[in-house]
Structures are given as C-alpha cells and as structure tokens.
C-alpha cells in the first residue's frame, strides 16, 4: 500500500491500476469458474491479458485479433463458461475505460467485443472437443466392454439453468407465478409477499415503460428476449440495480404462455463476493480473522519466524462471559465481544500480531516476536488491563478478565497444530487453577437470577460512576457496649434502590469483580482508619473477605500495597476469611504470610464445627466471628446444640465475636457463653466516615 | 453421476441425460454448481497439501471424468515424479481417462468397483505405479455417500486403509444433511427417481469422521469442504449452505 504523499506511481502505463483490475477480474472469475491455478497465478495470468488488451486498444485501428486471442486464452484457463464470460465483460466493461490509454469510448467496447467473440469461438471449440471426446469414449467403452448402452429416452428440453440468480416465471400480464429465493433476497421481501404481485409493480416507475415495451415485443414475436438493466423497488425503500433477462415460454401448442425472467444483482455482486470471502476467513461479528485463517497464518508465521525470538501464541477465554449473556442477553454479549476484539487489537497494535476470534468467547493471538516484544507476563498483564476498562453496553458498564494459555514457539519445525494444542492445554490449566474459586460462583441460572446477574455485570461501570461508598459498621464490646472496632462495608446506591454490603459482595463475587472492588474498599477504609488514629478515638479496622479474595494469589501483595499506601500499621488491620474457604488452596498460605506481617487474621461465618476449631488452632487465628445464622438459630430453639460447641473454641484462645446480633437477649446469651465482641442491628446502623467518627467521640 | 458433476462444473463431458439430471438438481438447489466447484477446489488443495507432506503417489477412487484441475495435473505440476492411479467403475469414464492419459506413463486408470478393494489394490496398473511401502495419498472424494449403510462403508474403508504405509494420507468428501434444509432431501429424491443406479446417503459428522478410522484428522478436522484451509476466493461458494453441504477432511496414518 502506498503512503499518502509518497511519490506517484512511476509507471506511465498505470501499472497499479492494471494490477488492481487483474485482481478484481481474478476475484470475480474464481467465484464462478473452475480454474486450476492459485490466486496469484491467476492474477498474474490475467494481468498479462490486460496488458495484451491495453496494447490492442492502443493500436489504431484497435487490434481486435489480439483481443480475440485473449478471449481464447481465458477459455483455456479452465472451466470458465458463460458465467465466467459474463463476469469478465462486467469487470472489464467498468475497468478498462478507466485505465490510462483508453481515451476513446469505442476502444474499450471494441476490445471487449473482440474478447467475447474470441471467447465464444474458443468455448465452442472446447465444447465440441469435449463432446467429441465423450463420443469417442462412449464408442471405446462400448467396444472395450461389449456393453450396450440403452438408448436414452429422455429429451433434453431446454431449461433455464441458473446459479444464484433470481428466477421468475411471469404471466403474460406481468403477474408473478413463481419466484425463487434469490428474487425475494434481491427485493428484500418474503416469497409470500411476492405472490400475486406483478413484475411491473416491482420495477421503478421511471423505467417500467421500457420493460413493458420490450416484453410486449417479445410476446408478439418481434424479439427473442429482453435484456435490460433495471431498477427494482426493495421493500425497505432502496433500489436494487439488477440486470434482467426475460424470454418467452410456450405451451405445447406453441402459443406464448409465460415469461421466464432471470434477475442478477449487479450492484451487490462485488460487495457480496468480497463479503463472502471475508466471511470465509473472518468472523462476521468482530471482523477478526477466524480460526481457519488463523491456522493458515500460523503455519506461515512459524515458518518465517525470527530464529531467536520466535513466535508467541496466546489462547484467551473470557471469564464470566456466559453471565453477561445470561443476564443482559446475547446482543450485549456480542457487543462486549466486539469491544474485546478492539481492545485486543489496540493492545497489540505495535506488534506484528494477528488477533483472531475462535469460537464463542475464545480468542487467539499470534505475535511474531522481535527484540522489543514485551515478555509474556507483561503482555498478559497489558491485555487484562485493557479488558478491565469498562465498556458501556445498554447502560451497563461491563468489564471482563481473560484466562490465557500462552506458548512461545521458537523452532521453525514446530507443527502449527502442535502449538495450538499446547496453547489450548495451557489455557485449560489456567482455567483449572481457578476452578476452586469459580465453581462456587456458578449458581443455577433460573429466571429470577437474571436481574441479579444483570446487576453483577453492571458493577464495574457503577463503581466507576461513584455509585459505591464505604461505610463503617461498629464492632462492639458485649461487656460494656463500647465500640471496639470498625468493620468496613460497601453500599451501592442504585437508581432503583440501595444494596447493602452483603448483597454487593455476593454479586461482585460472582463475576470476580470482588478482587478490584475489595482492594478499593480496603484502601479507602485503611486510609480512613489511619486518619482517625491522629486522636485517641482510633479503633482497629476489620475487613471481611470473600472466598474468592481469600484464595486470590495476589491477596498478600494487595494488602501490602494498601498498608504501604495508607501507612496503617499491620496490627491495626484484621482480615476475616470465610471458615468454609480455609481448605481451598492458598488460603492457609495467605493467612500465614499476613499473620507474619502482623496483620490480625480471623475466621468468619463460623459454623462452630470441629473443623473450625481445628482450623483456628492450626492456622494460629487471632479471632473468630460466629455466623449470624447461628446467632439466630440459638435464639430460637436449639440453644443446647450451639452452646455445646463453644467451650472447645474458647479453649483455643481466639477472641470470639458474633455477627448479626439483633436483641439484647442474644447479646447477653453470647456474652455468657464466652463471646467478647458483636456486630449487628442491635448496635446501630452502618455509618458514613463522619458519622462513625462522631460516634467514636461520643 | 460423474458426468452430471462435470456438467455442473461447466464441462461438456456429458450426455443429454446427465445434463437433464443436473438441470433438475439445479432447479431444486440453484447453487449446486457452486457446491460442485467448491468440492473440486477442495480436491486441488488436498492434493497440494499432500504433496507438501511428501506424498508422491496417489490413488483416486471414483475419479469420474478427470477433467479440469484433476489429480495428476495438480500433483505433477508440483512434482513431475508424482504417480497417480485413477479408479472408476463407469466404463465411459474409464475409456475417457484412457484416452486422456495415453501419453502419461505416470498415471493410469483402473476399471473397478470401489466395493472390491482387492481388485483395485492388486491391479497390475496399481502395482506398477504405486509402492505400498511408501506413503500413499488416498482420495475418496464424493464417493462414499453412494454407499448405503448396508454396504458398510466403514468396513470398506478399513480395507483401503490397512495396506497403506504410515504417513499415508486419506482425503474424504461426503454429502451431509447436517447443515441443510429440506432442499437436499428433494435432491436425494430426484436422484432416486432418476435412472441412475446410485443412491445418495447423506451422513452426519460423526459417521463421516468414523470413515477415517484410526487415521488422525489434520487441522481443521472434518469441516464443510470450503472451510478446509481455504486459500482464495475460488475455494468458497456464494451461498453459505453450499460451503457446508459437503464435508471434507484429510487424515494421516500414524
């Protein structure tokens, strides 16, 4: 591709224009003809023919014999046939007059006419040759096999053969008797809408007279057939430019009975062809190359790969994409895919890379590495950063993350299929690594769930819009009712109401958005608590983590980052993980490292089972918080059962707290049973930072 | 059928009765020509692929009228040393091929029925041209849907695969109804009504895959034959269904 402003084409003969024309010709021809040449070979052949045509046109008078030889040559390319000639005339009819050297209108006409004549002669010759050869073959076969061919009873009645063209059987009065699907397609109408209509209703008023005239002439026998460029009226109000050929059908007595008309969509042809080609190699939705194309490209890329740097193959799978579709619908999902496609392309804009869409929410990326290509980790991080930018779809701000399988290939002998398989396997491993977390987040997808899902996937956008605030829930000493700590909680103020902390967290947990959201909550709250430390009213900060956060491989680095940024001492922070999550991989490690740093660790949502007691002991947990549902259970009937489990817990030495305390009776019972701290409605609502501070100083 | 196919491709190697059947087919399925063209293009890509994999000898079962873009032209254009054995049961196709190949000592036609593999594999021409200690490119294109289930095409294919050397490749194209509306059924009915002895059995994806036996399908597997490594505009049809009506795949003997 030449750059704007670069030097003009040095070739005086319009070499580039000829090349383009050859390419277009090859393109159209290969859509209808069987030619045993590769695309480039065919383009090369046709380029030579165009040169010959130009030379013929440049002669004065025009060298029609030379142009006829071109027609002969085109027939020799393969099975070209009438469709091939039609396309040839179309493309040259438009293209030749635009070439330098065609000043006079008749030059192109003469050249194309001569080409068609040469084509006709050669084609007839080829048909005769083939038929003769068939006769010979037949004779030979009969002779060879002493085989008697039953005489054919069938007569070859001259039927209109057709391709993708529209075909109509039209009454002498113009009424449509039968149409094929292509007609309906061209007109943008259903076949049902066409029954009963007349052809003349469908033709543009400006040109309908011309058609009536010609058809009358044919019916009266003055003319064999009609061939006109026409404009048909589409249902959507557009005009379809077509070429229409009509000839007469006669009944057994020889009287005219119907017309048969063939309609070809001229304007759409080029678009359609290129669109179809694009579709065959590209994904229609995103415009990215598809898996086929990617596979082919991979093959050549591996072969020409830089021997030192090789290629990098990434196989991506979007996390939580199914949820977007289930809650917001496929359309939203598709728009998200388009966005992802654009983001991926922009991330890789500086690399020699191909981004392809495989199936569904899977993408493939092939980077032909250079010395400046970022390493795999940096590349993966850049991709996830770009995807985390929310995009607004139907008012929902959506963001996604991707699991990736990455393979670096350096050997030119590497099998492309092998590379693809390896990347796929790596992706599966990446996904399996997360499954311990993700399985928890795959709830049944009933209809009632959909609105929740819709909220969940809209969270990133809402967060960016500032719809979330951090609130502070008092942690109270059961002994004297004094405030012993602040638990940071979320609140989401939506147009349709307010979502409390527990609901926000449950939703964010389902998409994985809890990771950035949780870090944000921690940062805001830690900064706030650090600020309060300036006076004597300082209390420790407590944050409840979800299962996903607890298993997050980056949990420690997130906490370190927050403590560094805010200056909050580690021992003023308590993180509470769900007791059900402690058996998941990494949780024990996370808690161990945090405890070493001085962060207070807690188990929450405690069910008071023997496993809980063991976990508290084994992991050196500082405090525990009994689940709100147990607090409620206790206050109803089964006090004995709940009480029986407490002594073992008290023995571990961990500070015991209870959540969800509603009544004075509950508070009293738990205080007696050995609990020190409590949270819940009994101790007042969540406060804003200012409100909480005021309460501390009260 | 071979001659009808040739007509659909645009050739004149056919008789009135063949063209009549083709016209009937086209009336129900106006895009039949592009399906024929696309499957022909698949043949070319397959042969080129196999040559690229080092295959220098080909056995083409059901070659029909080997006219434009045939196996020996494609293969010998890539490497003149390539040897090709064509097989057909139609005496006219055989006669035609003999006339055509009279000057080509690296290609020959065997008159045999695909249902009798021994007569093909042990044929003197086959033995003369093909070395079964070396990989062979076996092409069974647009053929197996002419065998009803009772003829057990799976067992038949095993008999072809077994004697081949490791590294041999097998290409199959097969008509399917997986991606079709009722039009294909109409075509099937047409063929049944025609005086052709051949009966069309469309098969679903898994049944076609099974025809490859323990050979390993190369990328992209068994797909609509237009989607098998398309390299240019000529490899696909305008109508999406025509790209999918014939399954095509290539597999390698491990």
Question: Do A219 and A184 sit in the same domain of this protein?
Answer: yes
Of the segments A112-116, A684-688, B135-139, which one has the largest average pLDDT value?
Answer: B135-139
Distance from CA of B181 to the nearest CA of A (A): 13
The residue range of the domain holding A38 is 15-130
What pLDDT does A4 receive? 43
Q: Is B177 in contact with B215 (CB distance < 8 Å)?
A: no
List, for residues A206-247, the tens digit of each pLDDT value.
Answer: 888 888 888 888 888 777 777 777 888 888 878 887 777 777
pLDDT per position as a tens digit, A455-485: 777 788 888 888 899 999 999 999 998 999 9
CATH assignment of the domain containing A544: 3.20.20.450
What pLDDT does A429 receive?
A: 64
Secondary structure (DSSP) of A346-409 = HHTTTSEEEEEE-STTEEEEEEE--TTSPPHHHHHHHHHHHHHS-EEETTEEE---EEEEEEEE
Chain A nearest-CA distance from B107, in A, is 18
CATH number for the domain including B196? 3.40.50.150
Nearest Cβ partner of B236 from A138, A156, A280? A280
Stretch A176-186: mean pLDDT: 76
ipTM: 0.76
Q: Is the pLDDT of residue A637 over 70?
A: no
Average pLDDT, chain B: 84
Strand partners, A365: A314, A355
Domain count for chain A:
4
Task: Give the total number of structural domains in chain B.
Answer: 1
Residue A318 sits at the vertex; the CA angle it makes with A315 and A322, to the nearest 5 degrees, is: 135
Instruction: Sort out which chain B residues have CB atoms less than 8 A from A78's CB and list them.
Output: 68-69
User: A266 falls in which pLDDT band (50, 70, 90)?
Assistant: low
Q: Look at residue B182 in the predicted model and tell me its pLDDT.
A: 63
Q: Is residue A493 part of a domain?
A: yes
pLDDT band, residue A156 (cuts 50/70/90): very low
B99, A140: Cβ pair inside 8 Å?
Answer: yes
Same structural domain for residues A294 and A437? yes
Question: Residue A109 has which token pair?
Answer: 């006409």
User: What pLDDT is stored for residue A165 in this prediction?
Assistant: 56
Residue A629 and residue A520 share a domain: yes
Q: Are residues A226 and A173 in the same domain?
A: yes
Q: Would you state the pLDDT for residue B185? A: 67
Angle at A626 between CA A623 and CA A630, to 5 degrees: 170
pLDDT above 90 for B33: no
Q: Which of A271, A304, A325 is the last residue of a domain?
A: A271
Could you give the CA distance from residue B131 to residue A50 in angstroms, rounded to a whole number? 45
In chain A, pLDDT over 70 holds for what percent of residues? 83
Tell me how far apart the alpha carbons of residues B173 and A177 are, in angstroms, rounded to a whole number. Answer: 38
Name the pairing type of β-strands A402-409 and A311-318.
antiparallel
Of the listed ranges A181-190, A500-509, B160-169, the one predicted with least confidence: A181-190
The answer to whether residues A289 and A282 touch, using CB atoms and an 8 Å cutoff, is: yes
> Do A548 and A613 fall within a single domain?
yes
* Inside any domain, residue A648: yes
Instruction: List pLDDT tens digits, range B212-224.
Output: 999 999 988 998 8
Tell me if B11 and A154 make a contact (CB, 8 A cut-off): no
Res A137 pLDDT > 90: no
User: Residue A152 pLDDT > 50, yes or no?
Assistant: no
Look at residue B166 and tell me whether its pLDDT is greater than 90.
Answer: yes
**B16-28 and B183-193 helices, crossing angle to 10°:** 160
Nearest CA in chain B to A138: B92
HSE-up of A509 (CA within 13 Å, CB side)?
Answer: 21
Q: What percent of chain B lies above the pLDDT cut of 70? A: 85
Residue A20: its pLDDT value, please?
Answer: 86
In a domain? residue A448: no
Verify whether the Cβ–Cβ distance A79 to B11 is below 8 Å: yes
Expressed in angstroms, the distance from the first to the final Cα of chain A is 75
Same-domain status, A429 and A473: no
- Predicted pLDDT at A6: 42
Q: Kindly state whether residues A21 and A92 are assigned to the same domain.
A: yes
Residues 94-153 of B with CB under 8 A from A: 94-96, 98-100
Residue A328 scores a pLDDT above 90: no
Domain carrying residue B67:
2-252
Quick one: pLDDT at residue A506?
Answer: 84
Position A444 pLDDT exceeds 80? no
Provide the mean pLDDT of chain A. 78
Instruction: Tell which residue, B188, B203, B220, B217, has the closest CA to residue B154.
Output: B203
Q: Read off the pLDDT band of A446 (50, 70, 90).
A: very low
Q: For residue B47, what is the nearest residue in chain A, using CA coordinates?
A: A36
pLDDT of residue A386 exceeding 50: yes
Of A301-310, A453-462, A476-485, A579-588, highest mean pLDDT: A476-485
Query: A185 to chain B: nearest residue by CA?
Result: B239
Q: Give the strands of the sheet with A402-409, arranged side by side.
A: A352-357, A362-368, A311-318, A402-409
Q: Is the pLDDT of residue B158 over 90?
A: yes
Residue A351: predicted pLDDT: 85
pTM, entire model:
0.43
- Per the CB < 8 Å rule, is B239 touching A180? no
Residues of A in Cβ contact (< 8 Å) with B229: 292, 295-296
- Say if residues A678 and A667 touch (Cβ distance below 8 Å): yes
> Strand A166-171's sheet: what is its strand order?
A176-179, A166-171, A256-265, A239-250, A225-233
Residue A434 pLDDT class (50, 70, 90 cuts): very low
CB-CB under 8 Å, A79 with B9: yes
């Amino acid at each position: 591709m030449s750059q704007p402003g670069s030097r003009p084409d040095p070739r005086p003969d319009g070499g580039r224009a000829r090349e383009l024309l050859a390419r277009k010709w090859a393109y159209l021809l290969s859509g209808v003809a069987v030619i045993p040449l590769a695309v480039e070979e065919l383009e090369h052949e046709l380029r030579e023919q165009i040169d010959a045509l130009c030379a013929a046109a440049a002669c004065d008078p025009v060298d029609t014999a030379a142009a006829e030889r071109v027609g002969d040559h085109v027939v020799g390319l393969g099975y070209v046939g009438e469709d091939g000639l039609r396309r040839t005339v179309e493309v040259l009819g438009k293209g030749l007059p635009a070439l330098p050297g065609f000043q006079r209108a008749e030059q192109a006409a003469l050249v194309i006419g001569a080409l068609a004549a040469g084509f006709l002669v050669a084609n007839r010759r080829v048909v005769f040759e083939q038929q003769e050869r068939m006769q010979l073959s037949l004779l030979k076969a009969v002779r060879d096999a002493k085989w008697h061919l039953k005489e054919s009873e069938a007569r070859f009645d001259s039927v209109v053969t057709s391709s993708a063209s529209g075909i109509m059987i039209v009454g002498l009065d113009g009424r449509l008797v039968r149409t094929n699907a292509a007609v309906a397609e061209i007109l943008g109408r259903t076949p049902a809408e066409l029954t009963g209509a007349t052809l003349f209703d469908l033709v543009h008023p400006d040109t309908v007279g011309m058609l009536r005239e010609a058809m009358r002439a044919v019916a009266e026998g003055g003319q064999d057939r009609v061939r006109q460029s026409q404009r048909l009226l589409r249902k959507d109000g557009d005009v379809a430019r077509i070429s229409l050929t009509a000839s007469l059908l006669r009944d057994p007595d020889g009287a005219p009975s119907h017309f048969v008309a063939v309609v070809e969509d001229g304007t759409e042809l080029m678009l359609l062809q290129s669109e179809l080609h694009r579709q065959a190699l590209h994904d229609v939705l995103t415009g990215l190359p598809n898996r086929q194309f990617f596979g082919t490209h991979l093959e050549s890329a591996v072969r020409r790969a830089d021997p030192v740097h090789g290629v990098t193959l990434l196989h991506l799978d979007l996390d939580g994409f199914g949820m977007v579709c289930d809650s917001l619908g496929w359309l939203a999902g598709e728009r998200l895919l388009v966005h992802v496609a654009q983001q991926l392309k922009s991330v890789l804009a500086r690399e020699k890379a191909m981004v392809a869409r495989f199936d569904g929410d899977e993408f493939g990326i092939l980077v032909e590495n250079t010395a400046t290509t970022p390493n795999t980790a940096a590349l993966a991080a850049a991709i996830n950063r770009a995807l985390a930018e929310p995009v607004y779809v139907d008012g929902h701000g959506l963001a996604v993350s991707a699991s990736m399988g990455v393979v670096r290939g350096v050997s030119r002998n590497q099998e492309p299929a092998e590379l693809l398989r390896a990347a796929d396997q790596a992706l599966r491993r990446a996904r399996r690594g997360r499954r311990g977390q993700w399985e928890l987040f795959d709830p049944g997808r009933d209809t009632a769930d959909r609105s929740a899902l819709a909220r969940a996937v809209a969270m990133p956008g809402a967060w960016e819009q500032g719809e979330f605030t951090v609130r502070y829930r008092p942690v109270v000493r059961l002994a004297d009712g004094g405030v012993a700590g602040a638990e940071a909680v979320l609140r989401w103020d939506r147009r349709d109401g307010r979502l409390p902390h527990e609901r926000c967290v449950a939703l964010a947990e389902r998409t994985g958005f809890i990771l950035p959201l949780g870090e944000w909550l921690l940062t805001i709250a830690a900064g706030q608590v650090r600020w309060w430390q300036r006076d004597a009213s300082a209390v420790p900060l407590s944050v409840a983590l979800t299962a996903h956060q607890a298993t997050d491989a980056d949990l420690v680095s997130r906490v370190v980052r927050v403590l560094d940024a805010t200056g909050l001492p580690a021992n003023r922070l308590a993180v509470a993980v769900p007791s059900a999550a402690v058996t998941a991989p990494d949780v024990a490690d996370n808690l161990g490292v945090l405890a070493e740093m001085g962060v207070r660790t807690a188990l929450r949502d405690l069910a008071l089972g023997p496993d809980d007691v063991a976990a508290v002991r084994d992991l050196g947990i500082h405090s525990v918080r009994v689940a709100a549902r147990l607090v409620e259970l206790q206050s109803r009937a089964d006090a004995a059962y709940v009480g029986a489990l407490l002594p073992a817990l008290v023995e571990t030495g961990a500070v015991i707290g209870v959540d969800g305390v509603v009544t004075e009776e509950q508070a009293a019972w738990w205080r007696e049973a050995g609990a020190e701290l409590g949270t819940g409605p009994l101790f007042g609502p969540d406060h804003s930072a200012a409100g909480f501070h005021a309460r501390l100083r009260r | 059928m071979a001659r009808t196919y040739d007509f659909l491709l645009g050739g004149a190697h056919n008789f009135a009765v063949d063209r009549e059947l083709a016209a009937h087919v086209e009336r129900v399925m106006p895009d039949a020509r592009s399906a024929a063209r696309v499957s022909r293009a698949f043949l070319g890509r397959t042969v080129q692929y196999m040559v690229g994999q080092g295959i220098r000898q080909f056995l083409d079962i059901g070659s029909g009228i080997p006219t434009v873009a045939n196996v020996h032209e494609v293969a010998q254009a890539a490497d003149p040393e390539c040897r090709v054995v064509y097989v057909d049961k139609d005496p006219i196709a055989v006669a035609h091929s003999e006339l055509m190949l009279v000057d080509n000592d690296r290609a020959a036609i065997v008159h045999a029925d695909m249902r009798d593999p021994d007569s093909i594999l042990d044929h003197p021409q086959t033995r003369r041209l093909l070395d079964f200690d070396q990989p062979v490119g076996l092409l069974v294109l647009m053929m197996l849907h002419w065998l009803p289930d009772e003829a057990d095409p799976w067992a038949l294919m095993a008999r072809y695969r077994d004697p081949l050397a490791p590294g041999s490749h097998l290409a199959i194209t097969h008509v399917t109804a997986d991606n079709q509306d009722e039009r294909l059924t109409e075509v099937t009915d047409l063929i049944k009504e025609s005086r052709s002895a051949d009966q069309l059995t469309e098969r679903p994806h898994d049944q076609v895959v099974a025809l490859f036996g323990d050979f390993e399908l190369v990328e992209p597997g068994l797909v609509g034959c237009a989607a098998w490594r398309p390299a240019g505009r000529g490899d696909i049809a305008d109508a999406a269904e025509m790209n999918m009506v014939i399954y095509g795949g290539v597999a390698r003997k491990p």
